[in-house]
Amino acid sequence: MAKKDLNAKAPAAERGTVSAQPRLHQRAPEIQRFGTVSHMLPLDLEEPVRLEMTEQLNLLLADTITLRDLYKKSHWQVSGPTFYQLHLLFDKHFGEQSEIVDTIAERIQLLGGISIAMAADVAETTRIERPPKGREEVPVQISRLLDAHQIIIGHCRELARRADKLGDDGTNDLAVSDVLRTNELQVWFLSEHLVEEPLVHAEDSRLRSAS
């Protein structure tokens, strides 16, 4: 059944005037299609450059949103002896990735493009493997996060080189200063949790060299 237009109930004299009645259920055609950029922006960057950069940035954005959400999943579901440390670490990294998401999305919009936003669109675009709905062991959680970081870091390096070649200094700076360096630091913090070391008794150096 079609929804009624509540605005039609207003007296004819009130239509088109200022009113306290909210105008609900409004729809209209898109004002800009996804995958396009605005024309004639005073950025000193040609439209083909901005088209290529926004396309690449949207790939990076989809992967970063996925990594961000993977951190929150890990934050909620982590278990075991390192629960407290990792619970806090995962949430810290989630917050840092959330800031990166906003930075990338705003860069896309600044270049005249349209940033990817909805979960279904992100799921179709991301190159990061989808985890199961259930709970996984800590080493698996960390390994998934490291694999996701590796995808983003590799793309960052390619994007930075390409942006530099095309003269897009802003995207180059974002890729290196905001995304790459943060991801590299998070990889360090994660990977140290996968080093197998004794917690209480030091291993005899003679046994270690023999093995």
170 falls within a domain = yes
158 falls within a domain = yes
Mean pLDDT within 149-177: 98
Please state which of the ranges 20-24, 43-47, 197-201 shows the lowest mean pLDDT: 197-201
What are the tens digits of pLDDT across the range 75-96?
Answer: 999 999 999 999 999 999 999 9
Contact (Cβ atoms closer than 8 angstroms) between residue 45 and residue 111: yes
Query: Does pLDDT of 134 surpass 90?
Result: yes
Query: Does pLDDT of 129 surpass 60?
Result: yes
83 falls within a domain = yes
Give the model's confidence band at 209: pLDDT under 50 very low, under 70 low, under 90 confident, else very high. Answer: low
- Mean of per-residue pLDDT scores for the chain: 92
177 falls within a domain = yes
Instruction: Give me the number of domains the chain comprises.
Output: 1
Structure tokens at 84: 């407290």
pLDDT score, position 114 = 98
pLDDT score, position 198 = 83
3-state secondary structure 92-159: HHHHHHHHHHHHHHHHHHHCCCCCCCCHHHHHHHCCCCCCCCCCCCHHHHHHHHHHHHHHHHHHHHHH
What are the tens digits of pLDDT across the range 2-22?
Answer: 555 555 555 555 556 889 999
pLDDT score, position 9 = 59
105 falls within a domain = yes
162 falls within a domain = yes
Mean pLDDT within 47-59: 98
Candidates 38, 10, 5; CA nearest to 24 is 5
66 falls within a domain = yes
32 falls within a domain = no
- Range of 131's domain? 47-193
Give percent of the chain with pLDDT exceeding 90: 82
CATH code for the domain in which residue 74 is found: 1.20.1260.10
Structure tokens at 202: 């030091």
